[in-house]
Amino acid sequence: MRNWITATLLSLTPLLALGATGQAVTYTVNGQPYEGYYVSPNAQAPLVLLIHDWDGLTDYEIKRADMLAEKGYAVFAADLFGKGVRPTEMTDKRQHTGELYKDREKMRALMMGALDTARAKGANTGNTVVMGYCFGGAAVLELARSGADLKGFATFHGGLETPAGQDYTQTKGEILVMHGTADTAVTMDQFAALAKALEAAGVKHEMVTYGGAPHAFTIFGDERYREDADRKSWALFNEFLTRLLK
């Protein structure tokens, strides 16, 4: 989604120099290596688990993690593709996301593995919200449906469809959905279907659309970036964090 981003976690040195507590973290899930990013202002800080979009974990997510750390949150930016796997071609992005869409148990295991790694780094995983962008937003909703005991689940222009055989009856935390009304990749029909599913399951939720905002409206430098929608959604997300993470 972000062809303008060329750097990967293999070139983090200048980024780490900007934030003394930020660090690349290599960890394993089911014997396979992954490389996330962890930043924390202090040992007591509540945690945000951040899930990347279909580019893999890149500078964009690291920038967002650092922005949250400046607000007083610890952030673990997870890696769902594997160490060194940061696809740039459309076919590769579809391959890596498609594999996880077909293996939902693995998708869930990777997010829980990232959470376990954050806990091992000293993060307060008992006081956690998970958030994600695009593909990461779809993954966040997968984690919500799994019954993960987290405070909240937030998506920015994420995939909203519910897979066959799944529902939200096990969801424990609140859900926040921030979506572009002009998004043609994830339609307003899907937005409405999710709203009905959450209401039917009795899940506390807030769902907001931003007029004129297309898919990927928060991505800095992308032609689809919309400053007004980005600013409003970021402010809403920070209010969500303030309310849920005591």
Provide DSSP, 17-36. Answer: HHSTT-EEEEEEETTEEEEE
Whether residue 140 is contained in a domain is answered as yes
CATH of the domain at 31: 3.40.50.1820
Whether residue 7 is contained in a domain is answered as no
pLDDT, mean of residues 172-184: 98
* Whether the model pTM is above 0.85: yes
Whether residue 228 is contained in a domain is answered as yes
> Per-residue confidence at 6, pLDDT binned at 50, 70, 90?
very low
* Domain span including residue 194: 23-244
Question: How many Cα atoms are found within 13 Å in the side-chain-facing hemisphere of 222?
Answer: 18
Whether residue 9 is contained in a domain is answered as no
| Residues 6+ positions from 120 with CB-CB distance below 8 Å | none
Whether residue 5 is contained in a domain is answered as no
Whether residue 54 is contained in a domain is answered as yes
Any bridge partners for residue 46, and if so which?
124
Residue-wise pLDDT tens digits, 122-132: 999 999 999 99
Residue-wise pLDDT tens digits, 23-64: 999 999 999 999 999 999 998 999 999 999 999 999 999 999
CA–CA gap between residue 1 and residue 229 (Å, rounded)? 18
Q: According to DSSP H, which parts of 71-224 are helical? A: 90-102, 104-120, 135-145, 188-201
In the chain, the number of structural domains is 1
Among 81, 78, 109, 107, smallest CA distance to 95 is for 81
Whether residue 238 is contained in a domain is answered as yes
